[in-house]
Amino acid sequence: MSLPPLFPRRVTSPCRIGPLTMGSGHPVVVQSMITEETRNIEGCVEQIIELHRAGCELVRVTTPSLGEAECLAEIRAKVNERHGYVPLTADVHHQGTDIAVEAAKHVDEVRVNPGLFVFRRHGTRAKTETGLAVDVRGREENEVDRLRAELAYDPAEWALELEAIEESFVPVLEACKRFDRAIRVGVNHGSLSERILITYGDTPRGMVESAMEYLRLGEKHGYTNFNISAKASRVPIMVAANRLMASRMLEEGMRYPLHLGVTEAGDGDYARVKSTAGIATLLMEGIGDTIRVSLSEDPIHEIPVCYDILQSLGLRITKVEYIACPSCGRTKFNLPTVFNQVRDATKHLKGLTLAVMGCIVNGPGEMADADYGYVGAAGGKITLYRKRDVVKTGIPQERGVEELIALLKADGVWKEPGEGSDGLTPLPTLAPKNRLAPAAPV
C-alpha cells in the first residue's frame, strides 16, 4: 500500500532545525516562505499558521534589516500562543552579521546568501582596476573572458576577502552554536559575488565554490549544522549546481543536506512544470532533503505541488495514488466521469493505490502494482481486481463504485471520510523520528 522509492537517497549528515531533522534518511521536508512584510506582525503570524496548517513544515520569513529580525521574537511568541510550535527560518541577505545574530535568538534556522552576506556592489573592482564601472554579468562570452582575465584576483586579494567573510560570519556561527540553530547556506545563481563571478564565471562551479567557502569556515570554527541550497531560475543550471554541490562536498568529506528549488519560476502550470523538472530530476538521483516550489502566487499553493512531487516519486505518501488510463476506442464507459466518481468516493483513503482502466485487454497489465483495480469489460460491465487477481466480474456500471467500496470494506481497508484518516484534504504525517522536542525557548 505504499510506493517504495526505487532509487537510493544520498547519504547525508542530519541537520537539526528546531523539532525537525533534515537529511540522514528523514522524510523530505516541505517548506515555503511567507509574503507578508515582517514588520506586519499580525499578518506574518496569520500567514505562518495558515501555511503550517496546509502542511508546510518549515516557514521562511525575510529579515532585510535588524528591525525585521527583532520582530521575529514577537512573531515566534504569537505563533506559539495561537497555534503551537512552527519551525521558522530567517532570510538574511546584505551585510547580514547583526541581523543573523539577532534572528538566531528567535528562529530555528538562519539562511545566509554568500553572494550578498559581505556585500560589494558589482563593478566596484572594475572601477578600481580600470577606472570604469563594469559589471561582468550579462555580456558576450569573449568579453566576459577578457574582463575576468583583466580583473583576476591574486592570492593576497583573495585571502583578504576571505578574512572579511570570516570576520563577519564567525559571530553568526557562534550565535547558532549557542542557541542550537541551523544555518542554510543559500546560493543563488543570480546573486553571486563579484569575486566569485570574476574567478569562476556565472556558472554552477561558481555557485558551488561560493557555498564551499562558508562550509569550510563553519567547520574551522566547530559548526556543522548546515544545509545548502543552490538555486537558479534555469532548470539545467540548478540541476548541474546541485549535482556538483553533492560531489564537491563529498571530495571534502562533507555530507550536508540539500534544499532544492527553482527560483523565479513564475506562476500557473508552467511554473509547476518547471519546478517539478528541476526538483524531481534531482530527487530521482537521490539528491535533495527539503524542497520549495517557488510560485508567484499565494504561497499556500506551493504546498500541494511539493506533496505531489514527493508522492509521485514515492518519497512521501499523503493521499491515494490513482492509476487511470487515458481511455481510447476500447473504453467501454466514459472514463473521466467514472474516474471522478471513484476518486470522490475514495480520496480519503491515504496510502492505497487504486486503478481505473478502460478495458480488460490492456488494463490489468497496465495498472501495474495497484492495490485494487476497477476495469471496464464487455457489455458495459465492470470487473474488480485485488492486486492482479479478479475478485468480481459482470458488475453493472451503475453499481461499480458501490461494489468497490464493499470490497474495500470486506478487506478491512475502508474508512469513512474523516474516520481515522486525514479527511478529504489529507495533511502529511511525519515519521515519529522526525518529531523531536521543539527547540528550547529563547
Residues that bind ligand SF4 (CB under 6 A): 325-328, 330-331, 357-359, 361-363, 366
The residue whose Cβ lies closest to ligand SF4 is 358
Q: Which is nearer to ligand SF4, 115 or 363 (CB)?
A: 363
Q: Which is nearer to ligand SF4, 79 or 338 (CB)?
A: 338
**What H or E segment, with its residue span, contains residue 16?**
strand 15-17
Least distance in Å: CB of 4 to ligand SF4? 25
Return the exposure string of 396-428: e unless at least 16 CB atoms fall within 10 Å of the residue's CB, then b. Answer: ebeebbebbeebbeeeeebeeeeeeebeeebeb
Q: Which is nearer to ligand SF4, 80 or 362 (CB)?
A: 362
Least distance in Å: CB of 197 to ligand SF4? 52
Least distance in Å: CB of 335 to ligand SF4? 7
Give the span between the Cα atoms of 376 and 380, in whole angstroms: 7
What end-to-end distance do the CA atoms of the chain give, in Å? 43
Least distance in Å: CB of 361 to ligand SF4? 6
Give the span between the Cα atoms of 176 and 105, in whole angstroms: 8
Contact (Cβ atoms closer than 8 angstroms) between residue 148 and residue 136:
yes
Give the span between the Cα atoms of 343 and 354, in whole angstroms: 9
Give the span between the Cα atoms of 170 and 164, in whole angstroms: 10
Least distance in Å: CB of 323 to ligand SF4? 10
Least distance in Å: CB of 384 to ligand SF4? 15
Backbone angles phi, psi at 77, to 5 degrees: -65, -45
Q: Which is nearer to ligand SF4, 136 or 355 (CB)?
A: 355
Provide the sign of the torsion angle of the four alpha carbons 78, 79, 83, 85, taken in this order.
negative
Least distance in Å: CB of 400 to ligand SF4? 15
CB atoms within 10 A of CB 74: 14
Q: What angle do CA 163, 164, 165 make, to 5 degrees?
A: 90
Q: Which is nearer to ligand SF4, 8 or 329 (CB)?
A: 329
Contact (Cβ atoms closer than 8 angstroms) between residue 96 and residue 116:
yes
Contact (Cβ atoms closer than 8 angstroms) between residue 241 and residue 201:
no
Least distance in Å: CB of 136 to ligand SF4? 54
Q: Which is nearer to ligand SF4, 128 or 334 (CB)?
A: 334
Provide the sign of the torsion angle of the four alpha carbons 190, 195, 196, 197, taken in this order.
positive
Least distance in Å: CB of 304 to ligand SF4? 27
